Structure 1
Amino acid sequence: MSMAPIRNLILVLGDQLTPSITSLAGGDPARDLVLMAELGDEARYVRHHKKKIAFLFSAMRHFAAELRGLGWTVEYVTLDAPDNRGSFTAQLGEAIARHRPERVVVTEAGEWRVRQMQASWAERFSRPVDILPDERFLCSSADFARWAAGRKQLRMEYFYREMRRRSGLLMDGDAPAGGRWNFDAENRKPAKADLFMPRPPVFEPDPVTQQVLALVEARFGDHFGDLAPFGFAVTRSDAEAAFDAFVARALPKFGDYQDAMLTGEPFLYHAVMSQYLNCGLLDPLRVCRRVESEWRAGRVPLNAAEGFIRQIIGWREYVRGIYWLKMPGYERSNFFGHARKLPDFYWTGETPMECLRAAVSQTREHAYAHHIQRLMITGNFALLAGIDPHALHEWYLTVYADAYEWVELPNTVGMSQFADGGLLASKPYAASGAYINRMSDYCGGCPYDVKQRTGPEACPFNALYWDFVSRHRAKIGSNPRMAQMVRTYDKFPAEEQQRIADSAAAFLAGL
């Protein structure tokens, strides 16, 4: 049974859970119909972590209720509904056939493959399809392309300064607050286990979430990850409460310890907000203004406020710009020609290397790991071991609750694996065991010796690091931030260089 003739059919995607999004902003609840759907194709295009699927389906169901409370008519198709067609195109076609709207309205998708689907709909369904810009970002893809045009190198730091000026965040007139744009040098303290660690709030699953958890266990029980315990916020008000708790309890020390890693402490002083930002439950500019106001009120040091704001208006906007500038094709970048298969322990966590065991086990449990665990543990290992960057990209996209291709792909291919040859990052993020030992307490509980460079007892990161330098010297020797490492390697005696090659080969053969 259809409602009265409808003007616009507004399709809202699972990462567009924002009542003011452009597709809804121009709509009229009295004459337009909102369509939302839980789709098998979207849950399976990579085999997403069970917690990630549950988080999004539950957040979508709660958002549909929020829209109904605002007066919208919402047609919501659950995964197990008899009329579920499994894909955006098929589901939209079914709704168009039933409701015969004058036009379809959507906000542009965040991912290339879905944007291609959207572009095909007008012809396929013989009616106008308005694809509106996603204005939840500071910088449109066209703006970013203009900024990038003619530059020999793209560097986040210069882009970030533009975003600071554009937003006015942490500015004193034309100058950056505190006289510096970036306080990163103050944000590299190793953490000690006796610090008080605030935990992100845990939200008890309500009946809607409990239904979703049962559905996910039944349909995706063979996917990676632990479904229980489930404690994500799935409503806007709970996501805002989680953010308030971060601001009050963890933000003051967020800067100091944002690069630290501790056994048994998955969260430290991190916000754990990116999954809420990336699906639309939190507004990026609003959270940045709130953090700025905490600094201006004297409750938060500048290095914490600046470090947090840089992650959002700097990195997050920058990687999205790179994604739309370089897609399609960017996902196949492979500057080093790495082709090794992803080791099984990325899924099982079963490895004697304590740092990798901790990062993977935590990822399986929480669908979360902080940026240094991703960059300097799982990413660094893959780079040194010569893992195929596309396989690693698909792993990151699968396992994290905040992962969408637009944000994850450039972080993996560009920053973590340097597979784009330095378009995004100024150097490969390669490091030996010494870095991990400095920034964490993992090495103390590890059977390998972080102080040894070679041999069966040595930390594998050490020989792999120098073997990486040796293998790729032609490609990294001219990089100003890596040339010194090549020179250092060249000073090793020939026997030591041979021991490095043998140790690396023996370890890799055992993978």
Structure 2
Amino acid sequence: MSTGAPGAGAPGAGAPAEPPGLPERSPGTRRWLFADQLGPHFLDRPEQPVLLVESTDVLRRAPVHRRKAHLVLSALRHRAAELGERAVVLRAGTYGEALAQVGEPVSACDPTSWGARRLVRRLAAAGAAGERAEVRVLASRGFVVSEEQFGHWVRHRARGRLLMEDFYRDVRRHHGLLLDGRGGPVGGSWNHDAANREPPPRSGRLEVPDPWWPVEDDVDAQVREDLDRLQRQGVRFLGEDGPRRFAVTRAEALAALEHFLQHRLEAFGAHEDAVLSQQPWMAHSLLSVPQNLGLLDPLEVARRAEEHGRARRLRVASVEGFVRQVVGWRSWNWHLHWHLGPGYRESNALRAHEPLPRWFADLDDGAVGANCLAHVLRGVREEGWVHHVPRLMVLGGWALQRRYRPAELADWFRRAFVDGHEWVMTTNVVGVSQHADGGVVATKPYTSGGAYVDRMSDLCGGCRYDPAVRVGERACPYTAGYWAFLHAQRERLAANPRLRQALRGLDRLGDLDAVLAQERARGAAPP
């Protein structure tokens, strides 16, 4: 990726624009759009004909959240309605069965999962051999730099280390985002994260307007009827149905973006890590779903946030924090997914082999006595969504302490969350949340005792457990679990400089044996 003049587009001297065999454009052919490639930037021209496929077998393989199934089907059908006669819509058990019905050449932008990429390559090979209609595979789209550009960055700019902060700064230089006119960062710092870690407001409420909500239509009603029919046929879903919360069309996505910028961006940053039981949405954008459906291009989102922030003189830390999520962390996880390879999901450096217990996997918050975990499981059950701190510190922290299998946990996150996709959940769960890669993505395991949850939320109030207690009936399972985790992983984590102080703390615990015995007795039971 070039790091010269803002907006320079060359991926680097001598580097091809895209990998061999994956051309950027394929004019004159029908474009096969997957359900996460629904925006206009996945077409070569506005009038290009389109193929859309509804695969019912995807819903039969393993339970996904009912709300996620609704969003995907609603988005596909709304796109078909927009395209009208330009769209061919096929419904089949599998993508392969659907493509067997196609009698004309199609092109497809590289899909977002390893399995789908293998499929389109098999179909392309069969088409080249004359066994079926031609399928031409194009380079992926929808991210701020291409996979070829990222590969060039790793070879020539990463200096032997994979750090999101290095990548993020180069992306901003490359696209001229949030720069001060001299090539430096607006506000004097590339990263304002230190200003965005405030606990909840003392008032117990964040004064911010509600998020933008869509209005359901006849398409949503038909989707709901079809999902009800599938359930009667034995298809199992996670979670509960409810009003559609997220944008599924380009117009809705743009409306949601503008509402966030106008009414919520200023309040977003400072308390983005805070959790309030009566305000699950806080000031978050709720744009992960339309972005992951391909309805918004991340660069347009970042540029629009920058323009709005400059025009309104908004708090730089809030604008930068949002831009970092959109063009930094999101793109970083996308590129790491492909860079680290299909075997990465099986990483298990901490030797975690416990299966997900049924109460956790099925979102049974009623079985859980710990307020924070019950609250987060209930949020996922009811909405298919909680923001990043409940995901990382409550769900992920619990799983890390209890040594749940990382690959199984990542698959559960993918199925249980409305914005869950293989490419985003694998690195976030396996690498960041569970530290199962030994430090490739994150420098330390992300787990804590109950004190962190108590400081950053109102979820400990009224709980049967006390975050300051390690042993006994009032012992917080997160606090006890934290010390038991450090004890179990001491040898593996001893060389990590970020954990030296915590590991030394083990030697000062006079009740460590009692903590360990208590955790062994708890086993897989819900807290």
Give the TM-score normalised by the residue count of structure 2: 0.88
Q: Is the CA contact (8 Å cut-off) linking 2:246 and 2:286 kept in structure 1?
A: no
Alignment of 1:47 with 2:66, yes or no, is no
* Structure 1 residues not aligned, in runs of 5+: 1-5, 78-83
Aligned position for 1:497: 512
Aligned position for 2:179: 171
Alignment of 1:240 with 2:254, yes or no, is yes
Task: Tell me how far 1:299 sits from its aligned partner.
Answer: 4.0
Task: Tell me how far 1:184 sits from its aligned partner.
Answer: 0.4
Within 5 Å, which residues of 2 pair with 1:74-89?
Answer: 74-77=87-90, 84-89=91-96
- CA distance in structure 1 between the partners assigned to 2:407 and 2:146 by the alignment: 26
Task: Tell me how far 1:210 sits from its aligned partner.
Answer: 0.7
Change (3 A) 1:264 1:28: closer
3-state SS, counterpart of residue 429 of structure 2 = helix
- CA distance in structure 2 between the partners assigned to 1:67 and 1:206 by the alignment: 17
Task: Tell me how far 1:479 sits from its aligned partner.
Answer: 0.7
- CA distance in structure 2 between the partners assigned to 1:445 and 1:148 by the alignment: 49
Alignment match of 1:325 (pick from 332, 339, 343):
339
Aligned position for 1:306: 320
- CA distance in structure 2 between the partners assigned to 1:398 and 1:137 by the alignment: 23
3-state SS, counterpart of residue 226 of structure 1 = coil
Larger CA deviation: 500-509 vs 303-312: 500-509
Q: How far does the alpha carbon of each residue in 1:443-495 deviate from its partner, in whole angstroms, 9 at most, with x for none? A: 112111111022232100111101111111111111111111111112333xx
Aligned position for 1:122: 124
Q: Is the CA contact (8 Å cut-off) linking 1:252 and 1:299 kept in structure 2?
A: no
Task: Tell me how far 1:45 sits from its aligned partner.
Answer: 4.1
Identity of aligned residues (%): 36
Alignment match of 1:338 (pick from 352, 360, 366):
352
Alignment match of 1:252 (pick from 266, 274, 280):
266
* Structure 2 residues not aligned, in runs of 5+: 1-26
> Runs of at least 4 residues of structure 1 off by over 6 A?
none
- CA distance in structure 1 between the partners assigned to 2:427 and 2:343 by the alignment: 12
Q: Is the CA contact (8 Å cut-off) linking 1:456 and 1:503 kept in structure 2?
A: no
Alignment match of 1:273 (pick from 287, 292, 303):
287
Letter in 1 for 2:468: K
Task: Tell me how far 1:189 sits from its aligned partner.
Answer: 1.0
- CA distance in structure 2 between the partners assigned to 1:45 and 1:407 by the alignment: 20
Superposed CA RMSD in Å reads 1.8
3-state SS, counterpart of residue 88 of structure 2 = strand
Task: Tell me how far 1:44 sits from its aligned partner.
Answer: 3.7
Aligned position for 2:82: 66
Aligned position for 2:406: 389
Larger CA deviation: 268-277 vs 133-142: 133-142
- CA distance in structure 1 between the partners assigned to 2:494 and 2:63 by the alignment: 38
Alignment of 1:227 with 2:241, yes or no, is yes
- CA distance in structure 1 between the partners assigned to 2:207 and 2:243 by the alignment: 23
Q: Is the CA contact (8 Å cut-off) linking 1:198 and 1:268 kept in structure 2?
A: no
Aligned position for 1:484: 501
Change (3 A) 1:85 1:195: closer
- CA distance in structure 2 between the partners assigned to 1:26 and 1:249 by the alignment: 34
- CA distance in structure 2 between the partners assigned to 1:41 and 1:167 by the alignment: 40
Change (3 A) 1:420 1:450: same
Letter in 2 for 1:153: R
Task: Tell me how far 1:27 sits from its aligned partner.
Answer: 8.4
Alignment of 1:20 with 2:58, yes or no, is no
Aligned position for 2:465: 448
Letter in 1 for 2:517: D
Change (3 A) 1:177 1:501: same
Q: Is the CA contact (8 Å cut-off) linking 2:372 and 2:459 kept in structure 1?
A: yes
Give the TM-score normalised by the residue count of structure 1: 0.91
Within 5 Å, which residues of 2 pair with 1:83-102?
Answer: 84-95=91-102, 99=103, 101=104
Aligned position for 2:144: 138
Q: Is the CA contact (8 Å cut-off) linking 2:205 and 2:279 kept in structure 1?
A: no
- CA distance in structure 2 between the partners assigned to 1:453 and 1:120 by the alignment: 55
Aligned position for 2:193: 184
3-state SS, counterpart of residue 162 of structure 1 = helix
Task: Tell me how far 1:197 sits from its aligned partner.
Answer: 4.0
Alignment of 1:416 with 2:423, yes or no, is no
Alignment of 1:212 with 2:217, yes or no, is no
3-state SS, counterpart of residue 482 of structure 1 = helix
Change (3 A) 1:42 1:509: closer
